[in-house]
């Protein structure tokens, strides 16, 4: 199997055994993105330079015998309504096309602390208002299983990216089904945590206390890995 076809927990085991480096994993996913992104249109922003820098830091930490974190070297991508310090957060709107938040979402900070490598920001219905990811101000995202169909929404970018093998993990947000519905449309696993389980700090709200940040992945084990970190 190709690296991009492996689950996060499989990649984690390979890296911990020293069979593959974090840099190789990240490079494999960016190669996959190059192959399919022009058709799927899951990403709004890609961060290859920053991602490779993070991966090199993980590899160096491992070489020194220190613990790099429970998600060390594992790629993840973020729905673009999660604030990322120093990185554009658009919410799928041209109004915020160049906005860089002065803060970072708590869930994102916890991922970074666990060693996860952020590949970029993912498409969504503008301000998370939609169920198809066709209302993004930039372009619609397509379902990778059938490019003539929608991936669901509003976390259609995260669901499509995971299903297309562009990232093993993604974070989305769910108000009334915006993680679960696109996960179902794209044939992957999506989880809406119970209220209060995951901090909403740094999530641009659609309906405030109804919004919950949740993981999208290929299987339940991978969802559990992410939830353990962000909860």
Q: Enumerate the active-site residues.
A: 79, 154, 178
For the chain, the distance separating the N- and C-terminal CA atoms, rounded to the nearest angstrom, is 31
Q: Which phi and psi (to 5°) does residue 150 adopt?
A: -85, 155
Among 178, 164, 186, 165, which Cα is nearest to 82's? 178
Q: 196's torsion region: left (phi>0), alpha (psi -120 to 50) or beta?
A: left
How crowded is residue 87: how many other Cβ atoms within 10 Å of its Cβ?
18
CA distance 6 to 169: 11
For 146-188, give the secondary structure using H, E and C: ECCCCCCCCCHHHHHHHHCCCCCEEEEEECCCCCHHHHHHCCC
CA distance 52 to 2: 19
Number of helices (H), then strands (E), belonging to the chain: the values are 7, 6
CA distance 29 to 68: 20
């Amino acid at each position: 199997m190709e690296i991009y076809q492996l689950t996060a927990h499989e990649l984690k085991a390979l890296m911990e055994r020293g069979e593959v480096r974090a840099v190789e994993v990240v490079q494999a996913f960016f190669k996959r993105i190059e192959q399919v992104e022009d058709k799927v249109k899951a990403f709004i922003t890609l961060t290859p330079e920053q991602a490779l820098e993070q991966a090199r830091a993980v590899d160096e930490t491992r070489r020194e015998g220190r613990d790099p974190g429970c998600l060390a070297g594992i790629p993840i991508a973020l729905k673009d309504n999660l604030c990322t310090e120093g990185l554009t957060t658009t919410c799928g709107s041209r109004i915020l096309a160049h906005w860089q938040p002065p803060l970072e979402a708590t869930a994102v900070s916890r991922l970074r602390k666990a060693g996860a490598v952020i590949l970029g920001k993912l498409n969504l219905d503008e301000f998370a208002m939609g169920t198809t990811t066709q209302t993004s101000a930039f372009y619609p995202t397509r379902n990778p299983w059938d490019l003539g169909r929608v991936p669901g929404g509003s976390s259609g970018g995260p669901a499509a990216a995971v299903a297309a093998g562009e990232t093993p993990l993604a974070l989305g947000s769910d108000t009334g089904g915006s993680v679960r519905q696109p996960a179902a449309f794209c044939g992957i696993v999506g989880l809406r945590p119970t209220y209060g389980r995951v901090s909403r700090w740094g999530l641009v709200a659609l309906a405030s206390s109804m919004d919950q940040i949740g993981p999208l992945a290929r299987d339940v084990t991978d969802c559990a890995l992410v939830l353990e970190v962000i909860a």
